[in-house]
Amino acid sequence: MKKLVLVLLFSLACISLRAAENQTAPSAAQSKDPVVMTEQERHKIFKKRNKEIRKLVKQYKKANAEQKTQIKARLAEIVSVATDEGIARSKERIAAEKANLQRWENKINEQEQNLDEVKARRVDEILSGEAQRRHKLAKKRWKKELKDRKKQMK
């Protein structure tokens, strides 16, 4: 019961801090800076944008010629922003993957320099059970990450 009360109090505190933050400073979603936004914020903007696109398409189908040009211009503007943000996000992901690749290459080079030591350490880890323990922990972490990603996508 105490844990539930603490969780509720913590949640209320976070909500009030977030509300105060939103009143004092523009959020990352408002600034439209794709580098600063979290995945959840990006997803919310994506859903909102798609909803607006569907709405404009419905309006376009029912509109007269004059209104169609205005709606088409608005739709082109939204698609342009979405495309720019998508390209920026892709570039950001490429940069992150390049950095990750560089870390892996450095790690492999380091292991190759001390190959005999690495092999001996690996044998010791297998015999002591440390390798199996690490594998179980990693598997648990991977499952949790997968579960969290599935939640984010909903």
Q: Which residues contact 113 (CB under 8 A, 6 or more apart)?
A: none
The pLDDT score that the predictor gives to residue 17 is 45
Number of domains forming the structure of the chain: 1
- Count other C-beta atoms under 10 Å from residue 143's C-beta: 10
Q: How far is CA 59 from the centre of its chain?
A: 32
Q: How far is CA 154 from the centre of its chain?
A: 13
Whether residue 65 lies inside any domain: the answer is yes
The pLDDT score that the predictor gives to residue 18 is 52
The pLDDT score that the predictor gives to residue 70 is 93
Whether residue 124 lies inside any domain: the answer is no
Whether residue 100 lies inside any domain: the answer is yes
The pLDDT score that the predictor gives to residue 24 is 38
The pLDDT score that the predictor gives to residue 37 is 72
pLDDT in tens for each of the 154 residues of the chain?
A: 455 444 444 444 445 445 444 443 344 344 444 456 788 888 899 899 999 999 999 999 999 988 999 999 999 999 999 999 999 999 999 999 999 999 999 999 999 999 999 999 999 999 999 999 999 999 999 999 999 988 887 7
Domain residues for the domain of 109 are 21-113
Whether residue 42 lies inside any domain: the answer is yes
Whether residue 126 lies inside any domain: the answer is no
Whether residue 123 lies inside any domain: the answer is no
The pLDDT score that the predictor gives to residue 51 is 94
Whether residue 102 lies inside any domain: the answer is yes
The pLDDT score that the predictor gives to residue 33 is 47
SS3 46: helix
- Count other C-beta atoms under 10 Å from residue 52's C-beta: 13
Q: Which residues contact 34 (CB under 8 A, 6 or more apart)?
A: 42, 85, 88, 89, 92
The pLDDT score that the predictor gives to residue 97 is 96
Whether residue 129 lies inside any domain: the answer is no
Distance CA 100, CA 92 (A): 12
Token pair listed for 114: 């001390």
The pLDDT score that the predictor gives to residue 15 is 52
Distance CA 105, CA 70 (A): 53
Among the residues of the chain, which ranges form H helices? 2-24, 28-31, 39-62, 65-113, 115-128, 130-153
Query: Is the CA virtual torsion 124, 126, 129, 134 positive or negative?
Result: positive
The pLDDT score that the predictor gives to residue 31 is 42
